[in-house]
Amino acid sequence: MVRLEKNIKKFLKDRGIQLKDFVEAIGISQANIYNIYERNSIETKYLEKTAEIYKVPIYHLLLDENLEKVNKEIENSRIKELTKDLKHCSKEVDLLRELLDSKNEIIDNLRGK
């Protein structure tokens, strides 16, 4: 189960935001944030306000830590795949350049240069 308190605290810590500044920015009191922690529930309008002010997707505060780790692993895996593909493409480009040079050399020879 997602714990809003943990996610909100991590969100603020990662960005160096003080709790008092956060609650002021989204328009709630500090007492209300503790009620949100207690209930483990937050009104959508506060999530929307947070997303708007801090330029993050709404789901960012709702992500389960394990899901975030899985997403990072998938992202890292995809980066490795793309790096491998890029190396392969680079080798193909080098081979095509060699073929083009050979073709140009043949053309030059046929032209008598």
- pTM here? 0.52
Q: Is the pLDDT of residue 26 over 90?
A: yes
pLDDT in tens, 57-103: 887 777 766 556 656 777 888 888 999 999 999 999 999 999 999 99
DSSP per-residue string spanning 62-109: T--HHHHHHHHHHHHHHHHHHHHHHHHHHHHHHHHHHHHHHHHHHHHH
**Per-residue pLDDT reduced to its tens digit, 8-19:** 888 899 889 999
Quote the pLDDT of residue 55. Answer: 87
Indicate if the pLDDT at residue 1 is higher than 70. no
